[in-house]
């Protein structure tokens, strides 16, 4: 019986339901009385991050006069909405199933056309990541840490548990104690910012699916990740319903920086608002709090991979955040299907999407020791995160800019993709690790 593939589309709808974020200027600090005077409410939470001091004011209704008053206060750097970003499930085509590859005993590998496309069942032979060939060069390294910033990860999944990051101080410490002194209690495999605790278990499935694409163990069980050896840091900010607050995303990125990850894999986002007047395009207005966090990752030398979005949009005209934030560490990823065409749902941009990778009918891990086929740029992004991990495992001194350029310059040119990304083709793990350019 054929399983149904599910597409997890990144929603283009952003709702203001959690108030707004106020960032103070660097040299400003508020006493409790000063905070009450500034915000005129006690419904405020303080967030001291490495990138600054933030207050979240949890009022659903905020008038323009109130926002203006705060923006004009000399202690305030900026005020932005604490937006809710959602991921929405939809049903699409049956999963692709092939014949398998000699010497690989992971039983569901036959469904992983992105790793080995044999041209069966409607696929096109050779349209894949050249994964098997790349594994003859490098299969990864446990020293490479990749943060999956998402709905969490099922760290007990038999195909993932051996490639999960383990915070040894917390794992061997006392429950309820911040044993490593990083400000987070019991963060053994990562942290849950949606619920404010040290257990980033996935209660959706999206994050576990993304993690499996990168890191499913080569253990003759289930599937294979693009990396055989890696350490996945589970950073949860999206809830079971697939929504997450902007401030929680900022805290998630800040935490991943603190944990010293090499790569952040981000399969979430929303269209950036426009600064244009009616009838004119103008410059995109990215959420300043998200930009601050991504900039902090860039300063820390971290590659920031992001899904380009699933709204069939030209992001040269309608930018998507965080994928199109103009920073040198950001890599925007569009999706292709098994025949080599752009996935019908995928955003694209000749100047704003950097690379294209498999994202349609992708078979991977989901919670409860299970597997499922899902589609979206959400699936394409972790493939690129994994290939970036292979590059860094082989050449650990490369900067994020150099990794980004390597992925672009080594992509395999493809005539039917040339208008959709800067790379004008699809990524290749083999060409990336061998630095084969045209």
32 in active site? no
Write down the pLDDT at residue 438.
Answer: 78
Number of domains in the chain: 2
Q: What is the DSSP letter of 348?
A: B
User: Around Cβ 221, how many Cβ atoms within 10 Å?
Assistant: 15
Q: How many residues does the chain have?
A: 438
Are both 246 and 362 inside the same structural domain? yes
Same domain assignment for residues 307 and 200: yes
The answer to whether 31 is a known catalytic residue is no
Same domain, 179 and 81: no
Closest C-alpha to 78, from 287, 251, 238, 257: 287
Asked if residue 221 lies in contact with residue 106, where contact means CB atoms within 8 angstroms, the answer is: yes
* pLDDT score of 286: 92
Distance (Å, rounded) from C-alpha 369 to C-alpha 294?
A: 33
- Do 387 and 296 sit in the same domain of this protein? yes
120 and 238 assigned to the same domain? yes
**209 given a catalytic annotation:** no
Q: Could you say which of 141, 150, 159, 179 is catalytic?
A: 150
In eight-state DSSP terms, residue 13 is E
Active-site hit among 134, 378, 411, 421: 378
Q: Write down which residue in 55, 86, 117 finishes a domain.
A: 86
The C-alpha torsion from 438 through 308 and 419 to 89, rounded to 10°, is 120
Q: According to the model, what pLDDT value does residue 166 have?
A: 98
Q: What is the CA radius of gyration of the chain?
A: 21
Q: For position 18, what pLDDT does the model report?
A: 67
Q: What angle do CA 312, 314, 318 make, to 5 degrees?
A: 105
CATH number at residue 24: 3.30.70
pLDDT along the chain (438 residues), means of 10: 38 50 89 91 91 88 82 94 73 38 68 91 87 97 98 98 98 97 97 98 96 96 96 97 94 98 96 55 80 98 96 94 96 96 96 97 94 94 98 98 98 96 98 94
Specify if 125 maps to a domain. yes
Domain boundary (32, 53, 86) is at 86
Residue 181 lies in a domain: yes
Q: Both 81 and 157 in a single domain? A: no
The verdict on 159 and 52 lying in the same domain is no
Phi-psi region of 272 (alpha: psi -120 to 50; beta: other; left: phi over 0): beta
Residue 389, in any domain of the structure: yes
Among 86, 101, 119, the domain-final residue is 86
Same domain, 210 and 310: yes
Is 1 inside any structural domain? no
Residues 110 and 202 in one domain: yes
Of 189, 206, 209, 354, the catalytic one is 206
Q: Print the domain residue range for 139.
A: 89-434
List the CATH number of the domain containing 321: 3.40.50.200
């Amino acid at each position: 019986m054929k399983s149904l593939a599910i597409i997890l589309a990144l929603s283009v709808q952003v709702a203001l339901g959690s108030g707004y974020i106020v960032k103070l200027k660097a040299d400003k600090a508020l006493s409790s009385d000063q905070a009450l005077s500034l915000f005129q409410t006690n419904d405020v939470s303080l967030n001291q991050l490495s990138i600054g001091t933030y207050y979240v004011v949890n009022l659903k209704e905020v008038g323009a006069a109130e926002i203006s008053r705060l923006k004009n206060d000399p202690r305030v750097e900026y005020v932005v909405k604490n937006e809710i970003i959602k991921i929405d499930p939809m049903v699409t085509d049956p999963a692709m199933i092939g014949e398998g590859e000699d010497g690989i005993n992971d039983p569901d590998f036959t469904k992983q056309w992105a790793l080995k496309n044999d041209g069966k069942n409607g696929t096109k032979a050779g349209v894949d990541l050249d994964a098997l060939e790349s594994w003859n060069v490098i299969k990864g390294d446990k020293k490479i840490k990749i943060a999956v910033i998402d709905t969490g990860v099922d760290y007990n999944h038999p195909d993932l548990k051996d490639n999960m990051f383990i915070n040894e101080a917390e794992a061997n410490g006392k429950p309820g104690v911040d044993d490593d002194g990083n400000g987070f209690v019991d963060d053994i495999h990562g942290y849950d910012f949606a619920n404010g605790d040290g257990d980033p278990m996935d209660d959706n499935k999206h994050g576990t699916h993304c993690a499996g694409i990168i890191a499913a163990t080569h253990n003759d069980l289930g599937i294979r990740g693009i990396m055989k050896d890696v350490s996945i840091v589970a950073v949860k900010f999206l809830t079971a319903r697939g929504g997450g607050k902007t401030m929680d995303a900022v805290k998630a990125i800040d935490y991943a920086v603190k944990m010293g990850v090499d790569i952040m894999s981000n399969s979430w986002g929303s269209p950036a608002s426009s600064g244009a007047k009616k009838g004119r395009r103008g410059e995109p207005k990215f959420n300043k709090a998200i930009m601050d966090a991504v900039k902090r990752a860039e300063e820390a030398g971290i590659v920031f991979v992001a899904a380009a979005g699933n709204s069939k949009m030209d992001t040269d005209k309608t930018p998507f955040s965080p994928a199109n934030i103009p920073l040198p560490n950001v890599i925007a990823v569009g999706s292709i299907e098994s025949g080599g065409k752009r996935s019908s749902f995928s955003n694209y941009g000749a100047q704003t999407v950097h690379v294209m990778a498999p994202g349609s009918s992708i078979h991977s891990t989901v919670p409860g020791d299970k597997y499922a086929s899902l589609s979206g740029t959400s699936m394409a992004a972790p493939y690129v995160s994994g290939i970036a991990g292979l590059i860094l495992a082989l050449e650990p001194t490369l900067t994020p800019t150099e990794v980004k350029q390597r992925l672009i310059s080594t992509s395999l040119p493809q005539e039917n993709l040339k208008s959709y990304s800067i790379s004008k083709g699809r990524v290749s793990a083999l060409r990336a690790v061998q630095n084969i350019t045209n």
